[in-house]
Structure 1
Amino acid sequence: MLFRNLTAIFIFFNIHYLFAQDSTLLICGPMLGYVQHREALIWLETTPAVKKIQIKYFQEEAPASINTITYDGRLGERYNPVKIILPFLDMNTRYQYEIYLNDKKQVFTFPLTFKTKMVWEFRQPAPDFSFLFGSCAYINDALYDRPGEPYGRDPGIFDTMACVPSDFMIWLGDNMYTREADNTSRSGLYYRYTHDRKIPQLRRLLASRPNYATWDDHDYGPNDIGSCYELKDVSLQAFKDFWGNETYGESDNPGVYTHFNYIDCDFFLTDDRFYRSDDKMNDSSAAKHYLGNRQLEWLENSLLYSKATFKFICSGSQVLNPLNDFESWRHYQKEFDGLLKFIRENKINGVVFLSGDRHISEIIKVQPDGFYPLFDITGSAFTSRFNPKFTQGKEANNAFRVVPKAVLDQNFIKITVTGARNNRIASVSAITVDNMQAWNYEIHQSDITYK
């Protein structure tokens, strides 16, 4: 009954939102991108009718002290994704902001607020925090979908996620699904981003907390494609235009890979598409690349530099599952074995993999020789349909799965990091579309540390 009441409330708010905002000016957003100690990124998309965009922002405790920033980029196009950085903020401070389009204040049914990061180092124990992650958001679009039963399921899961407190959100790929008519042109890619981003169920979630993202095949291009995609540079630009990460790749090595830190944890969002060899290449081939040499070098150096308690390596495809015959980092033996060897030889503590893609959620645990246990937490799917193959064959009762069961329905993952210094715990929960916990599992810092 409680969830039904919450659903009714969200339906009311979403309907009210459609009337509250000016649809002749704002298509979708705002979305909160990265937030640092002294700046934050706000994303939105406007119609061609918009000629002027301003954001007014102020500290919640000093609402009379208003700062105004005017967007100076190009407007008036068919697709107008806009990113505005709010600079020179105070750390550990809550801000409110307002959006003005053509000098008209936009009205929303949810608050537009964010809090800048704090400096806790050398001052206090690491604070507790939490984040959400997941993958595979198929939004139905009848004109371009395949015939038959719609593949996308209830987008109300995003309303559920908006109700679950967390400090930020990680989108782990297949954040949209390009169709055959989308991935053949820039026009198609930008159409798909806009179509999916503007559904009302997404708005509250995207505005409520910082959003970080990487991609997998379906939001990169055609199914299972890698480095041979002829529009990969166009797709990369579209990703940059519609997401709010602080960085993308390196100046001389393009891609969506990036890193960010939160409290005592580091997050390495890898790009598993731009340099990826075709899956059908022999697994043992030295020429078979998953990240490519430069990105792998970046990851290894970043891990070596990191002082984080938990080092979360994020991958669009699953990483550790020995029984996965489909897309997996493990099938790229040179890079997979090389990364594990690097971690072992340098005694890098606290590595945990986060992955998506599979249309199930599970935790895989493996014990490599000379290693602490390695965990791969797979979160999928937001709205995509479950694949019945996972209830059959060798993966049905996977001995490497440490949670009681794989989640075979719509869900997302919440990870909460708590505990005292040297005794931190990552508590992992799978949460269903109706806000029920499917399972919970704890990973202790002491368990993934070289003795």
Structure 2
Amino acid sequence: MITRRRLVAGLLGTMAAGPIRGRVLRIESDYESDVVRVAFGSCVSQRKNQDVWEHIAEKDPHLFIMMGDGVYPEHEPGALSTLDAIRSAYRHAGKCVELNRFREQIPVAAIWDDNDYGGMDIGRTFAHKFESRDLFLDFWTSGAEASIRRRDSGIYASWELGMPERRIQIIAPDLRFSRSEWAMAGLKTIIARQLRGMGPFEATRDSGATMLGETQWAWLEDCLRRPAKLRLFVSSIQVIPGERGWECWSNFPAEQERLLRLISQPRVGPVIVLSGDAHYAEISRKDGDEGIGALWEITSSGLTEHWPTPGPNSFRIGPAYPQPNFGILTVDWRPASPQLTVGIHGADGRRLRREFLLLESLMHSPSGGSASRTARSPQRFMA
């Protein structure tokens, strides 16, 4: 098993053919697996207990997706991180025995969020973003992957896992490098929200506000033209939920709508959103509006961090889990209609939640709705 994992990791940086904007990294192995396991998580402090890595490895995933905040540089409250603090955080993480052992066994596909980028909630205005980019890539990547991702427009990346007839595409945009500033709510609103554990942001009225920037939007469209049986859209902040006042796509309504319409096109096929940032785990489902199919989002956060008061979320299915956690997505290709199992696990490996979905239930019809049988039909099971 260790040999297989090393082989996969060794080929993580292999560059696939395609347009310059749409180049992807291919995760290969010397066999075709009938059952594929993808682990995912976010928000891990290098200064806290690291036993979670052992418990993730016990699930024997083919890949781990780090969805942001892979380190927490030290800084004064309200201040941005210095480059020395970011370097120190990576230096500390690099000495973590548990993480190093994990990375020897399991390939990691990583993206950043605010803390490992430059500081709380910061976007494109961070003065040291290019230096921070290099520190991130030096820690998490090497070879062809590092070269492809060392761009002037962000560290976004796409990976492909499996043979063409069972291909899983992982798409991870950079939500920091080009992102406009958030809009702040009024003082009275902020004070009232604080009592409920909510944040200070509101939907912007700036029609020019951007989450990705046009270069990255073009890259995303290129990614979605590549053939895949299942796409995992990895967002370092939540896509569907938008009521808690913290960072989320709905703070930029036009950008959120653009994304949802893009990934819900019938030609794109089945998509599941994986997200981090929130410091609790939850599962969300947005029913299709006109032209937009139903969409599932699995939030897993954090590996060491937790927030005691999950915010409101009208799209939440079942409870939220305000304790350290990670997720496992299992794809069983053997049935005529492949089955997906989504599991949320505590940092100790104990399963907290499980959902079963059929791949066909994630398909979208040309009219914008889900396929004839939706995920609220008997194709969805909880355990």
Q: Which TM bucket (shorter chain)? A: 0.7 to 0.9
Corresponding letter in the other structure for 1:163: E
Residue 283 of structure 1: which of 204, 217, 220 is its match? 204
Contact 1:412 1:430 in 2 (8 A): yes
Q: Where do 5+ consecutive residues of structure 2 fail to align?
A: 15-26, 185-202, 366-383
Name the residue aligned to 2:63: 168
Question: Structure 2 length normalisation: TM-score?
Answer: 0.77
Name the residue aligned to 2:285: 365
Distance 1:420 1:167 in 2: 17
Corresponding residue SS for 1:129: strand
User: 1:46-445 counterparts in 2 under 5 A?
Assistant: 117-118=29-30, 127-140=34-47, 152=48, 154-180=49-75, 184-244=81-141, 246-247=145-146, 253-263=152-162, 264-280=167-183, 283-303=204-224, 305-345=225-265, 347-369=267-289, 370-384=291-305, 386-390=306-310, 395=312, 398-402=313-317, 404-420=318-334, 423-445=337-359
- 1:28-76, Cα deviation, whole Å (9 max, x unpaired): xxx979736xx456xxxxxxxxxxxxxxxxxxxxxxxxxxxxxxxxxxx
Distance 1:198 1:252 in 2: 28
Contact 1:249 1:257 in 2 (8 A): no
Q: Tell me: CA distance 1:251–1:139, structure 2 relative to 1, closer, same or farther (3 Å).
A: closer
Higher fraction of helix:
2
Q: Tell me: CA distance 1:232–1:436, structure 2 relative to 1, closer, same or farther (3 Å).
A: same
Q: Percent identity?
A: 26
Name the residue aligned to 1:98: none
Q: Tell me: CA distance 1:285–1:425, structure 2 relative to 1, closer, same or farther (3 Å).
A: farther
Contact 2:157 2:172 in 1 (8 A): yes
Judge which range, 370-379 or 408-417, deviates more: 370-379
Corresponding residue SS for 2:261: helix
Corresponding residue SS for 1:35: helix
Contact 1:300 1:339 in 2 (8 A): no
Corresponding letter in the other structure for 1:196: A
Q: Tell me: CA distance 1:427–1:221, structure 2 relative to 1, closer, same or farther (3 Å).
A: same
Q: Tell me: CA distance 1:33–1:171, structure 2 relative to 1, closer, same or farther (3 Å).
A: farther
Contact 2:74 2:81 in 1 (8 A): no
Contact 2:134 2:150 in 1 (8 A): no
Distance 1:446 1:116 in 2: 25
Corresponding residue SS for 1:307: coil
Q: Tell me: CA distance 1:249–1:318, structure 2 relative to 1, closer, same or farther (3 Å).
A: farther
Q: Tell me: CA distance 1:134–1:33, structure 2 relative to 1, closer, same or farther (3 Å).
A: farther
CA deviation after TM superposition for structure 1 residue 162, in Å: 2.4
Q: Tell me: CA distance 1:243–1:222, structure 2 relative to 1, closer, same or farther (3 Å).
A: same
Corresponding letter in the other structure for 1:244: T
Distance 1:350 1:196 in 2: 35
- 1:298-338, Cα deviation, whole Å (9 max, x unpaired): 112211x1321211111111111142321001222222211
CA deviation after TM superposition for structure 1 residue 284, in Å: 3.8
Q: Tell me: CA distance 1:274–1:211, structure 2 relative to 1, closer, same or farther (3 Å).
A: same
Q: Tell me: CA distance 1:363–1:271, structure 2 relative to 1, closer, same or farther (3 Å).
A: same
Question: Structure 1 length normalisation: TM-score?
Answer: 0.66
Contact 1:373 1:447 in 2 (8 A): no
Q: Pick the structure with greater CA Rg.
A: 1
Contact 2:111 2:236 in 1 (8 A): yes
Contact 1:367 1:373 in 2 (8 A): yes
- 1:122-159, Cα deviation, whole Å (9 max, x unpaired): xxxx732101110000133xxxxxxxxxxx4x321122
Distance 1:347 1:234 in 2: 38
Higher RCO (CA 8 Å, separation ≥ 6 residues): 2
CA deviation after TM superposition for structure 1 residue 362, in Å: 0.9
Higher fraction of strand:
1
Q: Where do 5+ consecutive residues of structure 1 fail to align?
A: 1-30, 42-84, 86-114, 121-125, 141-151
Distance 2:155 2:133 in 1: 7
Contact 2:237 2:248 in 1 (8 A): yes
Distance 1:315 1:40 in 2: 20
Q: Tell me: CA distance 1:419–1:196, structure 2 relative to 1, closer, same or farther (3 Å).
A: same
Judge which range, 357-366 or 157-166, deviates more: 157-166
